[in-house]
Amino acid sequence: MNSIHSCYIHIPFCSSICSYCDFCKLLYNDKWVNEYLNSLEKEINFRYKNELIQTLYIGGGTPSCLSINQLEKLFNIIKRIDLSSDYEFTIEVNVNDITEEKLILFKKNKVNRISVGIETVNNKFMPFLNRFCNKNDVLRKIELIRKYFDNFNIDLMYAFPNQTIDEVLSDLSFVVNLRPKHISIYSLIIEEHTRIFIDKVTPIDEDLESRMYYKIVEYLKFYGFNHYEISNFALNGYESKHNMVYWNNEKYYGFGLGASGYIDKCRYTNTKNISKYNECKYDYLSEEIDFKLDMEYEMILGLRKINGVSKKEFFNKFLSSIEDNFDIINLVKNKMLIDDGEYIYIPEDKLYISNSILVNFIGGSNSE
Partner 1 sequence: MDKSHIRNFSIIAHIDHGKSTLADRILEETHAVSEREAKAQLLDSMDIERERGITIKLNTASLKYICNDEEYLLNLIDTPGHVDFSYEVSRSLASCEGALLVVDAAQGIEAQTLANLYLALDNNLTIIPVINKIDLPNADIEKVKKELIDLIGFDEDEIILTSAKTGVGIKELLNEVVRKIPCPKGDNDSPLQALIFDSIFDSYRGVVIAARIFNGSLKVGDTIKMMETGASYEVVDLYIKNPWEVKKSSLSSGEVGYISASIKSISDVKVGDTITLLKNPAKDPLPGYKPMKSMVFCGLYPVESSKFEDLRDALSKLQLNDASLVFEPETSTALGFGFRCGFLGLLHMDIIKERITREFNIEIITTAPSVVYEALLTNGETFMVDAPNKMPDKTVLKEIKEPYIRTSIFTPSEFIGPIMELCQNKRGIYIGMDYIDPTRVNIHYELPLSEIVYDFFDKLKSYTKGYASFDYELIGYKPSDLVKMDILLNGEVIDALSVIVHKDFAYNRGRNVVQSLRKSIPRQLFEIPIQASLGNHVIARETVKALRKDVLAKCYGGDVTRKRKLLEKQKEGKKRMKQVGSVELPQEAFMSVLSMDENE
Residue 364 DSSP label: S
In the complex with partner 1, which residue's Cβ is closer, 316 or 367?
Answer: 367
Check residue 309 for interaction with partner 1 (CB under 8 A). Answer: no
Q: How far is the CB of 259 from partner 1 (least distance, A)?
A: 7
State which of residues 28, 87, 160, 252 lies at the interface with partner 1 (CB under 8 A).
Answer: 252
- Per DSSP, the three-state class of 43 is helix
| CA distances, 122 to each of 149, 182, 250 (Å) | 26, 20, 37
Q: How far is the CB of 143 from partner 1 (least distance, A)?
A: 28
Piece in contact with partner 1 (CB under 8 A), picked from 46-54, 255-263, 308-316, 321-329: 255-263
Q: Which of residues 7-26 bind partner 1 (CB under 8 A)?
A: 8, 10, 22-24
Check residue 182 for interaction with partner 1 (CB under 8 A). Answer: no
Check residue 244 for interaction with partner 1 (CB under 8 A). Answer: no
Check residue 117 for interaction with partner 1 (CB under 8 A). Answer: no
Strands (E) in the chain, as ranges, are: 6-11, 13-14, 26-27, 53-60, 83-94, 113-119, 152-158, 182-187, 226-229, 232-234, 253-255, 260-263, 266-270, 283-288, 309-310, 338-339, 343-345
Q: Which of residues 202-241 bind partner 1 (CB under 8 A)?
A: 206-207, 209-210, 230-231
Q: Are 78 and 90 in contact (CB under 8 A)?
A: no
Q: Are 270 and 260 in contact (CB under 8 A)?
A: yes
**140, 60, 149: which is closest to 109 by C-alpha?**
149
One-letter amino acid identity for 195? R
Q: Which of residues 38-67 bind partner 1 (CB under 8 A)?
A: 59
The rounded Cα 221 to chain-centroid distance in angstroms is: 21
- Per DSSP, the three-state class of 171 is helix
In the complex with partner 1, which residue's Cβ is closer, 226 or 360?
Answer: 360
State which of residues 93, 129, 138, 259 lies at the interface with partner 1 (CB under 8 A).
Answer: 259
State which of residues 63, 117, 180, 254 lies at the interface with partner 1 (CB under 8 A).
Answer: 254
In the complex with partner 1, which residue's Cβ is closer, 62 or 103?
Answer: 62
Residue 3 DSSP label: S
Q: How far is the CB of 313 from partner 1 (least distance, A)?
A: 18
Piece in contact with partner 1 (CB under 8 A), picked from 36-44, 119-127, 165-173, 260-268: 260-268
Q: Are 34 and 81 in contact (CB under 8 A)?
A: no
Determine the Cα–Cα distance for residues 190 and 114; give it in Å rounded to an integer: 27
Site size with partner 1, rule: CB under 8 A:
45
Which residues sit at the interface with partner 1, rule CB under 8 A?
8, 10, 22-24, 59, 186-187, 189, 206-207, 209-210, 230-231, 246, 252, 254, 258-262, 267, 269, 285, 287, 296-297, 300-301, 304, 334, 336, 351-356, 358-359, 362, 365, 367
